[in-house]
Amino acid sequence: MIYIIKHHIKKGSYVAWYDLITTQNESDITYWESTDREDIERGKLNKKEPPYVDALEQHIKEINPKPMDIIIFDIKYLELEIPNECESYLNKLGKKLGIKLVAVSDDVFRGYFDSDNYTFFSNLFDTKSSFSETSNNFNYYRYRATKESYFNSIPELITPFQYNIREKKMNMIIGVDKKERFEVFKYTHNIGLDKESYMSYSAFCSTYDDSELSDSLRKWKGEHIPKILDTPIEKSLEGNVNPQIPPFPYCMNSYVSCILETQIHPSPEIHLSEKSWNPFLSHNIPLILGSSGINQYLKKLGFWMAGDLFDISRQETEEEIIKQYKSNLDIINKMSNEDLREYYTLHYHHIEQNYKIMKKQKFIYNKLNYKQPKSII
C-alpha cells in the first residue's frame, strides 16, 4: 500500500504536491491526514517552525504500515540543517519498519536520490543519469502549473492577440537579487536592450552584500534598477505573492521571455523552479539562464527552445553559461522588432506545442521504478 500524508508544509496559496502524484491504480493509494493539518501546513504546529520529526513519527505510528509499504510525506518534517541527519534517520527508520519513506521537497533541500529505504523528490536532480531514471523524479514545479485554476484559460487569453505587433522585444522579470542576475541585467542595460524590453528587478532579498560591489556598481544599481510588478514588502512577507503566474500583460506585449533561474549548478545537476516553465505558459520564445544541460533536458521533454535562433549548446561552467547568455541577448539586440515578430509568427506552432506539452505533464508513481525496501532488521 502507498500512504500519502496530506500535509504540504508552508504551501501558501499554491497547489499541494500531494494533489499532483497519482498511480496507475488509484486503489493503491490511501490518503492520510491529521486533525492538526492546518497548523502543520501553515508551519505553526504548537506555535513552532518545522521540523516536526516527532509529529511524523506519530503519523507513521497511526498509519501502522506493513513491511514493504510506502509512505510519501513532506520533507520539511525532517531536520534539514544538519548534514546527513535526515538521510541517516530515514535509513534507520525505513529498515526498522521494513518500509520505503519518500520525502517530497517543493524546493531544493535535497537533490533527487533513491535508496532501498528512502527517496528524495526534488527540483534539483542529476541529468547524467539515464533519461528514464531522471523521469522517476517528481519535479514539483513541472507538474504544478496544470493544476492552477487559471491554466486552462490561457489559450482563451492569449490566442486573440497572438499576431499583434508587440511593443517590446523581450521581458526580463527578476526576483531575488543575485550576482549573476545583476551581471546579466546590467549587460542588458549596457547594450541598450533595456529600452526595448520590459525589465523588473526586486531588491527585497539579496544573496550577497552590496559591499561586495564596487562603488560605481553600487551607484549604478541605485540609479538604474527599476522596480515594477513588486508586491509591497509587507504583503510579500505574508506570502501573498504567486510567481507561478507569468506576468501576462508584459509577456503578451513582448516576444521573448528571458528567464534567470534561481541557481546555476555545474554539470551534472540542474535546478528547475517555476520560472523555467513560464515561457511555455505565456506563449513566449524561451531564453533560459540556468544550470549546465538545462536546455538539453527540456528538449528531451519535447519542448521547442528556439535552437535555430539562439546558441543553446551545453556549457559547463558558470562563466561559460553567462557568456553564452549574453551572446544570445546580443542576437535579440541586433534584430529589429519586425524581424523578431516575423520569427515569432513563423514559429508560433512550436510555441503552441510547448503549451500543449505542459498540459500533458502528469506524474505517475510506479513503485517498480525505485529500489525496494529492505526487510525489517
What tens digit of pLDDT does each residue of 228-282 get?
555 565 665 555 555 567 889 899 999 999 999 988 887 788 999 889 999 999 9
CB 112 within 8 A of CB 265: no
What is the reported pLDDT for 168? 97
Q: What is the pLDDT of residue 232?
A: 60
pLDDT reported for residue 218: 80
Q: Is the backbone of residue 115 left (phi > 0), alpha (psi -120 to 50) or beta?
A: beta
- For residues 108 and 123, is the Cβ–Cβ distance under 8 A? yes
Which residues are paired to 257 by β-bridges? 171, 286
Type of residue at 205: C
Give pLDDT, residue 335: 98
* Beta-bridge partner residues of 21: 363
Q: What is the pLDDT of residues 189-242, one digit of tens each?
A: 999 999 999 987 765 567 788 788 788 878 887 787 765 555 565 665 555 555
Provide DSSP, 152-189: GGHHHHHGGGTTSPPSEEEEEEE-SB-HHHHHHHHHHH
- The domains of the chain, with CATH numbers, are 2-122 (no CATH), 149-359 (3.40.50)
pTM of the model: 0.91
Angle at 151 between CA 110 and CA 126, to 5 degrees: 25
Half-sphere exposure of 61 (CA within 13 A, CB side): 6
C-alpha cell at 97: 519498519
* All cell numbers assigned to 376: 525489517
Q: Is residue 73 classed as helix, strand or coil in its secondary structure?
A: strand
Asked if omega into 83 is within 30° of 0 (cis), the reply is no
> How many contiguous H segments (helices) and E segments (strands) does the chain have?
15, 14
For every one of its 377 residues, what pLDDT tens digit does the chain have, with 9 covering 90 and above?
999 999 999 988 889 999 999 998 888 999 999 999 999 999 999 999 999 999 999 999 999 999 999 999 999 999 999 999 999 999 999 999 999 999 999 998 999 999 999 999 999 998 877 777 788 999 999 999 889 889 999 999 998 888 899 999 999 987 777 888 888 988 999 999 999 999 877 655 677 887 887 888 788 877 877 655 555 656 655 555 555 678 898 999 999 999 999 888 877 889 998 899 999 999 999 999 999 999 999 999 999 999 999 999 999 999 999 999 999 999 999 999 999 999 999 999 999 999 999 999 999 999 999 999 876 65
Residue that the C-alpha cell 512577507 belongs to: 237
Q: Identify whether the C-beta of residue 71 lies closer than 8 Å to the C-beta of residue 65.
A: yes
pLDDT for the residue 238: 54
